[in-house]
A and B are shown apart, each in its own frame.
Chain A
Amino acid sequence: MARREGAPEVSAGSMADIAFLLLIFFLVTTTIETDAGLDRMLPPMEPPEDDVVIKQKNILQVIVNRSGQLLVDDELTDLKALRLKAMDFLDNNGDGTCTYCKGKKNVESSDNPAKAIISLKNDRETKYSTYITVQNELVGAYNDLRDREAQRLFGQDFTEMEATYLDQQTPPSEKEKLKEKVKQIQDLFPQKLSEAETSSN
């Protein structure tokens, strides 16, 4: 008769073991990945209606050939020197209208950051890794200059400000404040990086 007194208790002793098993399964299968990379805008298919004439001196032509060599404005350049060269070009301030630039004011180089365009051209046989390194250095040149201005104006790195701005966890009120600052810095050195169509020879 003792049997009928309530349902027999289920032992919960193995609960921890079962939970551990599941835990280990999820631990193994989890890949916490936040993808990151270099953001780029492709040019639209239709050419702009009115052809803008761009002076040769306002274009920094970067060509990567099939063996990964770099030609910057018809000059064979080491990849490591590319960032400085790009920064010199962007920061040059040839016509003196850019008040925050610290460049050499070389008349042969770009007029001001708003007009300066970097044109990147690659061969079909160029290795993707080389291409990414070049892209990285060019983006780095922009970021370094923007960091410099952001430090001067707001005492903060631009890349940091942008990361906080894009972070989902940042509260909206803070985002609003950052938005203008980020925009302001971006306008000081607008990213004009054109990817010309690939040459096939």
Chain B
Amino acid sequence: MSKFKKKSSLHVPEVSTASLPDIVFMLLFFFMTVTVMKNTELKVHNELPNASELKKLEKKDRIIEIHIGKPSSRYENIVGVEPRIQLNDKFADLSEVAPHVLSEIQSKPEHLRAFVTISLKVDKRANMGLISDVKQELRKVNALKINYTTYEGDAFKNLD
């Protein structure tokens, strides 16, 4: 009897790990569903500025992105160091912006076309000249709703 007692006091009951795969699968499915695989590779530096008066861009299906910034070091010897426009996954000239936007709008379902927003993801070191040109191009094709996409933060940090 004394032998039995001793044994039971020594052993801590083991935690069952049988449900571990289930838990892990649950997490897995969560991440699988929220993951958005990016099919475009960023070819320009894209460090967005900070702003505090933000509005969220909730609905992804009506957004057209335009990246602007200095080419990454990898592409420097091909396209130079001046800020460039990137549409989808390639560098583009200013003249290509309008056709690109038009074709993107065309590819959206009809009921969304009126709500298309252009998200301008511009590197904070870029100059306004190029951006003004892009805005002018957007006006030409009547894509007037734009969003200067930024990080959330103190806007005065931009000035450093």
Contacts and interface: CB of A to CB of B under 8 A. Distances in A.
Contacts of B122: 128
Contact of B155 (A23, A41, A124, A132): A132
B108 interface: no
A166 interface: yes
B146 A40 contact: yes
A26 B36 CA distance: 10
Interface string A38-70: 111111110000000000000000000000100
B16 interface: no
A44 B20 contact: no
A33 B27 CA distance: 18
Given A32-B34, A124-B127, A45 B142 contact: yes
Contacts of B21: 12, 15-16, 19
A4 B154 CA distance: 72
Interface size class of B (residues with CB under 8 A): 35 or more
Nearest to B19: A16
A186 interface: no
B113 interface: no
Interface residues of A, number: 56
A38 B24 contact: no
Nearest to A125: B127
A44 B132 contact: no
A136 B51 contact: yes
8 contacts: A38-B148, A39-B55, A39-B145, A122-B128, A127-B128, A128-B126, A136-B52, A168-B58
Interface of A: 12, 15-16, 19-20, 22-23, 26-27, 29-45, 68, 79-80, 122-133, 135-137, 139-140, 143, 159, 162-163, 166-168, 195, 197-198
